[in-house]
Amino acid sequence: MQFDVAIIGSGPGGYRSAVLAALRGHKVAIAEGGTWGGTCLNRGCVPKKAWYQSARLLASRDQLAARGVRGELEPDLQQAWRDQRRVVDTVRASYVDYLKRLGVASFSGRARLIAGGELEVAGHGPIAAANIIIATGSAPFVPPAIPLHPGRVITTDQLFDAPPPAGKRVAVIGSGVIGTEMAFILAMLGLDVVWLTHSEPLSRSRFSAPALRLLRESLAAHGIRARTASRPAACRVSESGVTLVLAGGDEARADWALVAAGRRPRTADLGLEAVGVALDADGFVRVDARQRTTARGVYAIGDCANRAMTSNHALAEATAAAADITAPDNARGREALVPQVVYSAIELARLGLNEDEAEAAGHEVATGFAGLESSPAALALGDARGFARLVADADSGELLGAEAAGLHVGEWIQVVGACAAWPDALARLAAIRYNHPSLAEEVLNAAETLAAKWGLGEQVFGTRRE
């Protein structure tokens, strides 16, 4: 069987690659060795978003009476688990149907690269393709000190695959995005969370100190605090639960433990070395700015090739790879403009450079800030925590980055992203006709602050200061 494009992996990057290539008229094949839709659909972004919606509703219950809503809201984790499965099954059915309608050939089976631009798919034999896209994603990292144990020590992948273990007290292990999100979600869904971390939550992220402070305050308001300097050094499992021995000798006990200690690229046993695809020291596929690997005609996208490990990056890289296949050496957008979002006690979102990165790159930094405390939309929605911040070059007016915290920022950060790649991004943001009242209006307010505070009226409004 001969194809123009063959893709290994059906997560958001693989799926998007298949769709874009098919829409461009290519003959496309996609192979999946696990569950169609990959981690994001089955065990990550999609089911987590369903749980997050429930968590946000439960988090607001103390304010409901003042807003004219009376009654009791009680969490039901088992029902929440069943609901996310309903969502996942619905999305997967639509996903598979769309690939079929586009004429994409789908092969269920583990795939490996073999010589001569071919894939060998278990149960199907070889598939030849002029271009191959590796989109194999990642797998949870399990620290050697915390071996998995059915029903007692599990990963986030396993949490969404099977109903949650019995017991109300859970130890959440990890200070990254997954740990920060799941500590909040599980606490709101009725569990007693013991959050064990080595460092402060998201301390390795690119979010600003004010954003992280607001996150900590928001978590603390719900009684959720990370127990830092508490990386487990050993784990004991018994019939009564889990005992985690911490680095200092203290112990933490729980009914079960959720390991959220990051992920690792899934690049082993793919035959990459045999066809000349190089990996870095940590197992990520080496790619250039257009997602091309060191082997001709082979691309890699998503978690297996990008340390950011977000679905947003996988989708952006799928676009870049599909475009390069159709028109080699096409220009690629700025990777830094891919949004990053955290869904926890408050949402955090960012793209581009933060202030420190902009200064390190040699820019004279200007910032435009708008707080949500006076936002009509935020006040009407009952949560005026948060802000919008734009980062620009004070001399040229170039938009360098943006950050937001508060309700639904994962949605309205995209207003900035839609304009940020253009040289006149600030003027475009100011020219948008915003709905009122809306949270996205704070982007306009931040841009106007830049104009007023930093003398950027010409860049924002097309007017020169005399």
What positions carry a catalytic annotation? 436
| Sign for the pseudo-dihedral over CA of 84, 36, 157, 309 | negative
Alpha-carbon span 442 to 392, nearest angstrom: 16
| DSSP letter string, 274-311 | GGT--B-TTSPBP--TTSB-SSTTEEE-GGGT-TT--H
Q: Tell me the three state secondary structure of residue 178.
A: helix
Report the candidate in 113, 88, 95, 92 with the shortest Cα–Cα distance to residue 18: 95
Give per-residue burial for 90-103: e unless 16+ CB within 10 Å, then b.
Answer: eebeebbeebeeee
- Residue 312 φ/ψ, nearest 5 degrees: -60, -40
Structure tokens at 414: 């995209």
Do 409 and 386 touch, CB atoms closer than 8 A? yes
Alpha-carbon span 94 to 78, nearest angstrom: 25
Alpha-carbon span 176 to 201, nearest angstrom: 6
Alpha-carbon span 304 to 321, nearest angstrom: 14
Give the bridge partners for 340, in sequence order. 350
- Residue 368 φ/ψ, nearest 5 degrees: -120, 125
Alpha-carbon span 412 to 416, nearest angstrom: 8
| Sign for the pseudo-dihedral over CA of 383, 372, 225, 193 | positive
State the DSSP code for 262.
-
Give per-residue burial for 2-41: e unless 16+ CB within 10 Å, then b.
Answer: ebbbbbbbbbbbbbbbbbbbbeeebbbbbbbbbebbbbbb
